[in-house]
Amino acid sequence: MTPNLRLNTIAQGLTLTLLAATTYVQAAVMTPGKLTVGSDITFPPYEYLDGKTPAGFDIEFINGVAKAMKLEPHYVDTRFTSLIPGLQAKRYELIASALFITPERRKVIDMIPYLKTGESLLTLSSSTFKPKKPEELCGHKVGSMQGTYWLEKLHTLSADYCVKQGLKPIAVSEFSTDPQVTQAMLSHAVEVQMTDAAVASQVVDKMKGRLVVTSDTLLYPVLIGLGVSQSNPQFKQQLIDGITAYKASGQYAALVQKYHLAEPQDADIQALKQ
């Protein structure tokens, strides 16, 4: 065998090996007939466990979209801070977990908008401190789930507003799940909980008068999106087509109304492209 022929044979072998490895990785994720979804199933009303069965807005939404795509959804319960790394590691094909669309996230994953929301402030009903806006949080203990969009907002507000105004900084405590934040407030470890507006409404109902929403406007409005890999545009288009078909059936509008949520307007989506 000549040196050139030998080199060509080695190169061809390496190419086949790489193609085989790529095929294996894709097959591990793109299981025929199934749609693998990463979700932090501790965040009602978006996703939670009803017994042992995933439930909530995102679950019902993805179940409907998967049906339109003729796929069977399979959910991988993953803590919020591990959702994007899990997608990048190909543990699942998409993230459906009330994931706010931010410039930082769009740098590493593609995001498909499907909801609009914002944050609320919660306190104990018996508390004498009932803040209506974030600027009132200076010098107070505030709890939040880890990895959330508004944490950076709180830290920036604390440094650029509270401290510069000669006020005490906001004491921010982070917890693995949103229910842990609520429990911390019930045990007086924090004074205020900042969370998604729909979540706040659900928590107040569940606590039967023990908690109250104190903010009077939607704080830090933002779009929620499904997260997909930037390396799989074909799957992204298939997912968009599935969402379009699901919306055309009228089921999406009924689902949004059921959970008292809002659909993004064209202006909101156009703003993402700027």
Per residue, the 3-state secondary structure of 15-55, as one string, reads: HHHHHHHHHHHHHHHCCCCEEEEEECCCECCCEEEECCEEE
The verdict on residue 16 lying in a domain is no
The verdict on residue 252 lying in a domain is yes
The verdict on residue 20 lying in a domain is no
Residues 151, 229: one domain? no
The verdict on residue 19 lying in a domain is no
Closest CA to 88 of 233, 239, 229, 227: 229
Residues 129, 250: one domain? no
Using CA atoms, how far residue 263 sits from 118, 131, 220, 245, 271, in Å, is 13, 28, 16, 16, 15
Residues 176, 45: one domain? no
The verdict on residue 8 lying in a domain is no
Q: Are 194 and 121 in contact (CB under 8 A)?
A: yes
Residues 113, 231: one domain? yes
The verdict on residue 170 lying in a domain is yes
Residues 71, 125: one domain? no
Domain count across the chain? 2
- CATH number for the domain that contains residue 268: 3.40.190.10
Q: Which domain holds residue 184?
A: 118-220
Residues 124, 259: one domain? no
- The confidence score (pLDDT) of residue 269 equals 84
* Pairing outcome for strands 72-77 and 141-145: unpaired
Torsional sign, CA 96, 174, 263, 267: negative
Mean pLDDT by 10 residues, the chain (274 residues): 40 38 36 93 94 96 97 96 96 96 95 93 98 98 94 96 98 96 97 95 92 93 94 94 96 90 85 77
Residues 76, 189: one domain? no
The verdict on residue 5 lying in a domain is no
pTM for the model: 0.74
- The confidence score (pLDDT) of residue 165 equals 96
Residues 74, 139: one domain? no
Residues 123, 212: one domain? yes
Residues 99, 227: one domain? yes
The residues facing 95 across adjacent strands are: 38, 227
The verdict on residue 208 lying in a domain is yes
* Pairing outcome for strands 53-55 and 110-124: unpaired
Say how far apart CA 212 and CA 192 lie, in whole Å: 10
- The confidence score (pLDDT) of residue 30 equals 62
Residues 179, 202: one domain? yes
Structure tokens at 259: 């959970």
Residues 202, 127: one domain? yes
